Amino acid sequence: MREPLYAMPRGVETRWASPENRTGGKGIAAMAKGGRKGSPCLSIKAKEEVVLAREDGVSGMIRRIWVTLNDRSPRMLRSLRLEFYWDGAEKAAASAPLGDFFGTGLGRMAAFQSSLFSSPEGRSFNCFVPMPFRTGMKVTLTNEGDTDLGMFFYDIDYTVGDRHGEDALYFHAHFRRERPTVLREDYEIVPRLHGRGRFLGANIGVKPDAVTYGLTWWGEGECKIYLDGDDSYPTLCSTGTEDYIGTGWEQGRFGHLYQGCHVADKERLEFCFYRYHVPDPVYFQEDIRVTMQQIGYWEPRTIEVMRQANATVMLAGEGHRTISFGNGSEVPDYGNFERRDDWSSCAYFYLDRPYSELPELDPVEKRVEAIGEDTV
């Protein structure tokens, strides 16, 4: 819990890192061009890395981040690599494409507001996740694409001198993508992760495969969270994808503090949604693994859609029984079936160490593949 608004902690000072004060140093902001908006943004060339904020030899807390940029195309948002380092660690604790980190899945700008991230009018990015550090921090941005970025505006608002107890954890973020997922193998939002911490949640982007399955519902899969030694079966399980984010019977566009679906584009077939475990904490003492199944559903009104796609699908459940919708074959009115779709996610968690054993961020070529296209 953050300190009360009326309390002033001793020895804590406020800093902002921005293009007008890259180091966050005291008394040196807005010096360019006589202080008349002389350096409001950065230009970042292709393959260039820039340090957005840095502190050494001091404790503190990142409290708010704001960003906007002139090129908000899906390819650029997936090509920019944002990373956070804590306490001198050589490996980044948070490493993700810029757009996905700020809750903008699939590079799709959309206005939304949540407890941790927001985009007020679909033209900017805001993050309100508290990020403590004990001996220093570094935030970097790398343009891994082939196109120069002309204007990048940002503020990283933080304090120094904060006193953190032994129970203070380090913030982490992990991006993944599978195009497509593997049949009957649940998509891993967080691969097996060792340590003690708290899973904050994730934002997820899905591009359903309409060529193979027609325009059928893709989100019957359950979210499963394996805790502290769980093996074949998890401790926590939702009852469906849309159920996990708090809605039901498929999902449209909505945005709440802890759950939402800010992109539900049934023409381009793109869905972006989030669930943040703020009032319902997910703690782990030894390890955690978070997955989502890829299971679809047909009903009487979509049987003809499956027939037009000449679909042959594997039924969900034990065994590997298949069913064909081609050649006028008889099929049940309702059924769940296994799918392979394009899934990507950015997961957030706190951990008791400033680095983890999770894999490095995917190469930019894999991140941007088919991004912005209408079909998988």
Domain spans, the chain: 13-294+339-368, 297-338
**Across residues 128-133, what is the average pLDDT?**
98
pLDDT digits (tens, 9 = 90+) for 182-199: 999 999 999 999 999 999
Alpha helices in 154-225 (DSSP H): 210-213
CATH number of 13-294+339-368: 2.60.120.1390
pLDDT averaged over every residue in the chain: 95
pLDDT digits (tens, 9 = 90+) for 272-292: 999 999 999 999 999 999 999
Residue 1 has pLDDT above 80, yes or no: no
pLDDT digits (tens, 9 = 90+) for 144-185: 999 999 999 999 999 999 999 999 999 999 999 999 999 999
Alpha helices in the chain (DSSP H): 74-79, 98-101, 210-213, 241-244, 303-308, 364-368
Contact criterion met (CB below 8 Å) for 376 and 370: yes
**Across residues 249-259, what is the average pLDDT?**
96
Distances (CA, A) of 309 to 228, 252, 337: 43, 24, 15
Residue 138 has pLDDT above 80, yes or no: yes
* pLDDT given at position 376: 43
Share of the chain above pLDDT 70, in %: 99
Contact criterion met (CB below 8 Å) for 260 and 245: yes
* pLDDT given at position 373: 76
**Across residues 61-83, what is the average pLDDT?**
98
Q: How would residue 374 be classed by pLDDT, with cut points 50, 70 and 90? A: low
pLDDT digits (tens, 9 = 90+) for 83-105: 999 999 999 999 999 999 999 99
Query: What would the two tokens of residue 312 be?
Result: 């042959």
Secondary structure class of 368 (helix, strand, coil): helix
Contact criterion met (CB below 8 Å) for 28 and 21: yes
Q: How would residue 372 be classed by pLDDT, with cut points 50, 70 and 90? A: confident
Say what the pTM is. Answer: 0.95
Beta-bridge mates of residue 273: 204
* pLDDT given at position 254: 95
Residue 375 has pLDDT above 70, yes or no: no
> Of 140, 171, 143, which is closest to residue 156 (Cα–Cα)?
140
Beta strand 94-97 with 170-178: parallel, antiparallel or unpaired? parallel
